[in-house]
Amino acid sequence: MNTPSAARRVRVAALLLVVAAFSLELGALAAVHGARSWAASLGSRGDFAGAVAVDRVVAARSGALYLLAGRVGATGIQVGPTQLDWARSLAARGQVEAALAVLDGAEPTVQPQARRLRAEIALDGARAADSRGAFDVALRRLDLLAQGDAPADLATRAASLRPVYVLAAARALLGRGRAADAVAAIDGEISRAGAGAGSPLPGLLPAALLAAGRAALAANDEQTARLYLPRLVDSFPGRPESQPARVLLATPQPVAGTLVQADGTPVSGTAVRLGSHFRQVGNGYITSQPYYTAGTDGGGDFTVGAVPLGGPYVLEVLEPQGWTTIVDGSGHPAHPVTVDPLTPVDLTFVVVPR
């Protein structure tokens, strides 16, 4: 049975617990308010990273420290709004990609605002890059906008700017002597979005193809030139650029080889020629003009320059008895030559039966 003094002690102990808990809660709330003031001060000085870090630490506190439901939220913890301010500050300093990265990690509570702000920053950043001629940066920022679930109105604006930026980028690349990159940029955009009516991109493509083909030929890269010039002639036959492309495609090509004996000894100082209209007459063979001639050097190498497209041409060697056609076991020319556009011919080793 409790005595009056014992009951009084129980009541006092309970009261002390309540007072202690209330004091603890007040102290916790005071600490939260202090931390929030610190975060606000950091944000006002432009240290948004520090402000976000402090807010997140405080917002993560839970358990017995906070005894009154909802009190942490009541202190004004605002990680999301601070992130938005941080992104705006970065964008204002031209750090567009950093601003977008901040918004990519925005708190769920501000996701709608973050999506719109992200798109606005990317769009403004693309326009700024375009204005200073940094078209690659402008296009990359439009790509970043498209990756961020942008609001429909801003996505539509970005889509309308992209062909214009690609065209400007292609023109700049052409001006810098990077025609192949210009072709790739135009092709990439047409492949991505198509070339609808009114698109400016196809109009620049013939000039880019011609320039890319010429650049490849200047670098002795006929294989690459064959990617551009035939495409220009086939796809844009009525464009002015197609005529010089036809001339380049019709350019005579060299035919080279090495003349050797059966044992591999080079045949030096010997005349060779390519003839046409080969036919057999009795036990011999004849060809007819035009002929394209050359001579072997000390190593047996020869190059017949500027052989017109077509054929087949027949290789002949000047022997003591006259011009001799090298034939195979069936009596046909052993080395028929057909010259194709932009394709130098290499006969490698030609064995003279002696």
Q: For position 63, what pLDDT does the model report? A: 45
Q: For position 139, what pLDDT does the model report? A: 93
Q: For position 4, what pLDDT does the model report? A: 54
User: What are the start-end ranges of the H helices in 147-241?
Assistant: 152-175, 179-193, 201-218, 222-235
For residue 114, the surrounding DSSP H or E stretch is: helix 111-131
Task: Spell out where 233-300 has E strands.
Answer: 253-260, 271-281, 284-295
User: What are the start-end ranges of the H helices in 219-274?
Assistant: 222-235, 242-249
Q: What confidence tens digit (pLDDT) does each residue in 284-306 have? A: 678 888 999 999 999 999 999 99
Q: Which two tokens stand for residue 239?
A: 């464009």
Q: Is-contact 232 206, C-beta < 8 A?
A: yes
Q: Where are the domains of the chain?
A: 4-156, 177-249, 254-351
Could you give the percent of the chain with pLDDT greater than 70?
76
Q: For position 45, what pLDDT does the model report? A: 54
> Rounded to whole angstroms, how far apart are CA atoms 101 and 98?
5
Q: For position 76, what pLDDT does the model report? A: 41
CB-based contacts of 211-220 (< 8 A; 24+ apart in sequence):
211/174, 211/179, 211/182, 212/179, 212/180, 212/182, 212/183, 213/245, 213/248, 214/179, 214/248, 215/177, 215/179, 215/180, 216/180, 217/248, 217/342
Which segments of the chain have a pLDDT < 50? 8-36, 38-39, 41-43, 53-54, 58, 62-76
Q: Which residue has the tokens 């400016």?
A: 200
pTM score: 0.69
Class of CATH domain 254-351 = mainly beta
Pairing of strands 253-260, 345-351: parallel
